[in-house]
């Protein structure tokens, strides 16, 4: 199951780079780097999106103090918005992966 989810994440990240039309300032994130499941604490109210763009479908709003599960290094820099997004687990997303502003969360812990 974990291997399927990793493959799905790789596909979503790859297609997202082309669907949004913006590119990253850094190299594409490695799926192997994003394998660690992490828990983050939300530091301010933030919207979780279907894709890493604020024009994407809004899935949910997280509030200060909420916790979210995400991936250690799976991020995307949207050059158009000048915002870096972090991939998080969310069941409302078609692929179970949502995206939120990386500056709205603080790492609590990671499990490998």
- The range of the structural domain enclosing residue 67 comes to 2-111
Other C-beta atoms within 10 Å of 76: how many?
A: 24
Segment 91-107, tens digit of pLDDT: 999 999 999 999 999 99
Q: What percent of the chain has pLDDT over 90?
A: 61
Between the ranges 4-18, 27-41, 45-59, where is the mean pLDDT highest?
Answer: 45-59
Torsion of CA 104, 94, 34, 64, to 10 degrees: 20
Segment 15-27, tens digit of pLDDT: 444 444 444 444 4
Domain count, the chain: 1
**Cα 38 to Cα 68: distance, rounded to the nearest angstrom:** 8
């Amino acid at each position: 199951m974990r291997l399927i989810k990793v493959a799905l994440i790789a596909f979503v990240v790859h297609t997202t780079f082309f669907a949004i039309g913006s590119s990253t300032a850094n190299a594409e994130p490695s799926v192997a780097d994003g394998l660690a499941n992490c828990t983050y604490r939300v530091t301010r109210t933030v919207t979780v999106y279907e894709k890493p763009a604020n024009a994407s479908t809004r899935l949910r709003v997280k509030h200060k103090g909420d916790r979210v599960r995400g991936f250690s290094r799976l991020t995307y820099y949207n050059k158009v918005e000048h915002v870096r997004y972090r991939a998080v687990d969310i069941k409302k997303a078609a692929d179970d992966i949502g995206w939120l502003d990386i500056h709205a969360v603080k790492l609590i812990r990671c499990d490998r």
